[in-house]
A and B are shown apart, each in its own frame.
Chain A
Amino acid sequence: MRKYSLPYLLGRSFKGFSRNGFMSFASVLILTSCLLISGCFGLLIYNLYVNLNELDELNEIVCICRYDDFTEAEHKALYDRISSLENVEEVQFTPRAEALEKMREKYAEHPQVLERFAEDNNPFPDVYTIRYSGSEAQATDLLFTLRNDKKFPEFKSVEDRIETANTLEKLKNTVLWIFIGFLLVLVFISVVIIMNTVRMAINSRSDEVEVMRYIGATGWFISFPFIFETFFTGLISALIAFGAQILIYDKTMQVISSDISVSGLISFVPFSQVWYVVLLSFVGVALLTCYIGSKISLYKHIKV
């Protein structure tokens, strides 16, 4: 069993990487671009998912009260009637004063938005939020009952999100598949670039490879420097892409949070919550791409 010196092999890999000069630089640029595009797209989708899930729960029906002067006993009776309905899991009553308070908390950074409203001119109605379970047909039945003026004359309107939930589910799946397709295309491009880089490295060191083969180098000894050269490319690309991703994400968050009309609609997950996933994904995808690209090229050109 031959014992190879790891520092020697790593040194050879690094020398090979630096000797490739322009081609290594070009590979880093392309791989970085691919990682960055995937990263931006991936984070966009992740935020979309988070935002969709934050759109209050989709299996909810919101009932808005017709009048704001119900007594506590009337509210209690109404609450009990709703709770007794089939498929109702949970009923939550939000008084209009509490709704106003919640909105004030949400827009704490922009107090001017709600400053002209007080208890006497509170624009929010009393609301019952009903969480239900069961199939789409059962949900529709429940909705039908709640909208029946004879059974529930207390409600001015009853809002549901059944269709929205279905549409959003389809949207999520479509976007996810587009992302997967997009990612595969970018990985393919990266693999081709790495294959080409390795092919050029092999050509420029064909004498070295031939000498090694003639005097008994194992396939592992021959291929290690080429594979690790591409790992350098992958690691550098992943780190550059990660740095660029931080800047792009920060800048995007700044732009969005500066505009209240947008920030009220979209919330961004702070990068501090996802940085390790982004970094690990970049490094993982880059190394895997480099490994696949270099192995294919080595097999194709020097049969190791």
Chain B
Amino acid sequence: MIEFKNVTKTYNSVSRGRPVAALTDINLKIEDGETVFFVGPSGAGKTTMMRLITRMETPTSGSLKVNGTDLRRIRPRRIPEFRSQFGVEFQDCKLFPKYNVYENVAFAMRVLGMPNRIIKERVPRVLAAMNIQHRAKHFPDQLSGGEKQRAALARALVNNPKILIADEPTAGLDPKMSKDVLDLLVSLGSSTKHKRTVIIITHEQALASAYGKRMIRFENGRIAEDTGRAQE
């Protein structure tokens, strides 16, 4: 479970000469296995939410717990272990241009020190599940936008994360491809095999609302609307 209690995050702005609030007084609970859309315009605080959940940033005030771990008190040396429960799909995919698709996906397993035997067994399986196995030897610049997203998703999923976060997965895709990618993400959250929490960050509210899943709308660093049952 992810639990925000009165979380505020401010940054020191050099240009403005005073702290700027990215998020203000956020109260939120996301249950295990939930699929949630974070929607809102650019600068509303969606990506800061992701950075807080993954402990890339710490809250300025308030309490934030992820699966029982208090992120304001976690010891620095435990952070890598904490982060290993996440799979993250980035806005611009962040596939490594010098690695082919297979190597890009395998990289996520190497980060966690997985042995080659398991990498060789698991990567093709995940690529097949993402329907991109035929592109395993191709490099990112040889892939279409949708294929890149699926390759990035394969990398995010290969470690079987408890929490999957997709940051603007439809950015730069045409409507058809956007729908395909979102269908895939939502299906991952609906899987009964893995009780996986899926957080999809997007500015395409209309597209997100079509899935009937919980949707949290951010505006100016505050929650403007939460359609979910679990909001505090």
Contacts and interface: CB of A to CB of B under 8 A. Distances in A.
A5 interface: yes
Given A3-B115, A5-B110, A211 B80 contact: no
A218 interface: yes
Interface residues of B, number: 26
Contact of B56 (A5, A207, A213, A221): A213
Given A19-B98, A207-B94, A207-B96, A215 B83 contact: yes
Contacts, number: 58
A214 interface: yes
Contacts of B54: 214
Interface string B61-103: 0000000000000000000111111111010001010100000
Interface string A191-218: 0000000000000000110111111111
A215 B115 contact: no
Given A211-B94, A215-B88, A8 B110 contact: yes
A218 B90 contact: no
A10 B87 CA distance: 26
Nearest to B156: A215
A216 B116 contact: no
B110 A215 contact: no
A210 B80 contact: no
B125 to A, nearest CB: 18
Contacts of B90: 210-211, 214
A151 interface: no
B58 interface: no
Interface of A: 2-5, 8, 15, 19, 207-208, 210-219, 221
19 contacts: A4-B113, A5-B110, A5-B115, A5-B116, A210-B90, A210-B94, A211-B108, A212-B111, A213-B56, A214-B56, A214-B88, A214-B90, A215-B84, A215-B156, A216-B81, A216-B84, A217-B80, A221-B111, A221-B113
